[in-house]
Amino acid sequence: MASKRLIKELDAYNKDPSPALKALEPKSEDDLFHWVAVLRGPEGTAYEGGRFTLTITLPSTYPNTPPEIRFQTPICHPNVNFKTGEICLDLLKTSWTPAYGVVSTLEAVQQLLSAGGEPDSPLNIDLARLLREGDLVGAEGLVRFYTRMLAMPR
């Protein structure tokens, strides 16, 4: 069931690409369970202009269990681990339902970027601390710096 649904999702994306994504495709032709996506940094935020590569690993029980999504491009966000790219989003864990798809989940990740994140359950403590202390300008600057340094095509 998983591969059939993945093919459908991929077809649907190719027919109607999401503005949040620059690219979405399986890593290789014969492996449907590992995808690579390139996410656009949401406009009007400090991530604007960034191109973030994400790896998506789909379990064989998909869609009953959520896909595993990680940032490959380092990203400065309170809920993303800067080193491993692990994302703290309950959609990817407990509140997953099969009605979500890969594309909509990636869109949710993009919304996580524009929403600013939740400094309560941080994976990036430094940024979370700035946010908790209310230094929005500092946080914004830090994010902008890292986006420019790591996620912008030169």
Partner 1 sequence: MAPLVPPHTRPHGAGDTNSTNANNTRSKGAQSLQVITLSIPNPEWQGIGSSGDAQRINASISFNYLTSFDIRTLSTVGASNGNDVTGLLYVPDLDEGDPCTNSSAQYLPQNVTRQANLPNQDYQQIAIAPWTSGDCALSYMKAGRARLIQGILFFIPGNTSATPPDESDPVWDVNETRWKQENGFPVYAIPGQNAQILLEASAAYSGNMTDVPFGHQLTEYYDSRDYVRLYVDIDTGSSGSTLPSLWVFLLVVLGILLAIIGLTSLSMHLLQRRRRQNLRRRVASGEVDLEALGIKRLTVPQELLDTMPLYTYGTGAPVTQQSQKSASVQEEKLDGTKSTTLPASPPAATLLRSSSYRPSPLSQPTCAICLDDFVAASPGTEGTTVRELPCHHLFHPECCDTFLRDSSSLCPMCKRTVLPKGYCPKTITNAMVRRERMVRQVRERVSDDPDAAREVDENGLPLSRAARIRVRTFSGFSQLRPGRRISEQVSSGQQMQQLSSTAPIPPVPTTADSTAPLTQSNSISQAPLSTGPPPQVQPPATASRREWARQRAVDMLGERAPADPDAEETRTTSTWRKAVRGMFPGFRR
| Residues of the shown chain interacting with partner 1 in the complex, contacts defined by CB under 8 A | 1, 4-5, 8-9, 12, 16, 18-19, 43-46, 63-65, 89-91, 93-95, 97-101, 103-104, 107-108, 110-112, 114-120, 131-132, 134, 136, 140
Q: Where are the alpha helices (DSSP H) in the chain?
A: 2-15, 102-115, 125-132, 136-150
CA angle 116–100–143, rounded 5-degree value: 20
Instruction: Please pick, among 88, 89, 103, 109, the residue that the annotation labels catalytic.
Output: 88
CB of 122 to partner 1, least distance (A): 9
User: Which residues partner with 23 through β-bridges?
Assistant: 38
Residue 63 tokens read as 């869609």
Nearest-angstrom CA–CA distance, 60 and 3:
8
Question: Toward partner 1, which CB reaches closer, 55 or 104?
Answer: 104
Distance separating alpha carbons of residues 147 and 142, to the nearest angstrom: 9
CB of 23 or CB of 136, closer to partner 1:
136
Q: Smaller CB distance to partner 1: residue 57 or 64?
A: 64
In this structure, are strands 51-57 and 31-40 parallel, antiparallel, or unpaired? antiparallel
Give the nearest distance from C-beta 138 to partner 1 in angstroms.
12
* Least distance from partner 1 to the Cβ atom of residue 135, Å: 10
Active-site residue 76, yes or no?
no
**Beta strand pairing call for 21-28 and 31-40:** antiparallel
Q: Based on CB atoms, which residue is closest to partner 1, 18 or 55?
A: 18
Measured from the CB of residue 154, what is the shortest distance to partner 1 in angstroms? 25
- Which residues are catalytic, by number? 88
